[in-house]
Amino acid sequence: MILLDVDIRRKAYLSGINVIEKLAFSAQQGEFVAIVGPSGAGKTTLLNLIAGLDRDMDGSIAFHSGQGPQASPRTSFMFQEPRLMPWLNVQQNLELVLAPQSRRHQVAPLNDLLALVGLPGCGAMFPGKLSGGMQRRVALLRAFIVEPDLLLMDEPFQSLDAPTANQLRVLLQDLWQRTRPTVLFVTHNLREALSLADRILFCSARPCRVILDLPVDLQHPRAIEDISVQRMHQSLLEQYPKLLGGLIASSPEISGA
């Protein structure tokens, strides 16, 4: 079953510059899709369009359920920064995304959920008292607590030190495997994409389009340090040396990629 169909013929800035052009892909229900491309290519713009935060485009974004087309799935968005409300404590930040009628049923389990993400007893703390890694844990839990059908993630572990980022990747895989939302995960880090995703969409430089749709046939869960991830990373860049710059060779053996 297809959850998401994206067909963007053209998305332009107010200046008239095309940022996305002829970009099309589908995502299956429960699939983890990484989106990799050069800076400024339009990856964040793409997530904003899918989330409905921006509707100014020429094309279509369609969602499907088991019963047919639907207006939009239950969607969470995890941004580059945690975006926690500094005047609310951790528990209140989590309750903020819950429907009012469900909050009284969720308060007790929140302690268990905080323990699940490595923050036992932190519900009364305010964001200013948390480290960057702890804030990202809260943001990650907030994204999952609404049980989304679709989770959009825009470089959520950017700027974190390597050990903290690795811990959060492990946590993300655990939460995803428990609940299985469809995930679209934007990153510049190819090893990160290979360690998380079922598929990687490689994008061109602006105007953004998909130049390679790569299945990642490695068993979950994975870590960046896994030898299988390292080998795939090396092989991929040997075959497509300019891929991370948004370019792909036009040799006969890969022209159909």
* Residue 224 DSSP code: T
Of 92-106, 152-166, 191-205, the range with the lowest mean pLDDT is 92-106
What is the spatial order of strands in the sheet that 58-65 belongs to?
A: 18-28, 2-12, 58-65, 68-70
State yes or no: pLDDT of 130 exceeds 90.
Answer: yes
Q: Work out the pLDDT band at 31, boundaries 50, 70, 90.
A: very high
For 36-53, what is each residue's pLDDT tens digit?
999 989 999 999 999 999
* Residue 208 DSSP code: B
pLDDT greater at residue 66 or residue 197: 197
For 141-153, what is each residue's pLDDT tens digit?
999 999 999 999 9
* Length of the chain (residues): 257
pLDDT greater at residue 94 or residue 250: 94
- Look at residue 254 in the predicted model and tell me its pLDDT: 38
Beta strands in 42-161 (DSSP E): 58-65, 68-70, 75-78, 150-154
Query: What is the spatial distance between Cα 46 and Cα 42, in angstroms, rounded to a whole number?
Result: 6
CA dihedral 244, 169, 3, 102 (to 10 degrees): -140
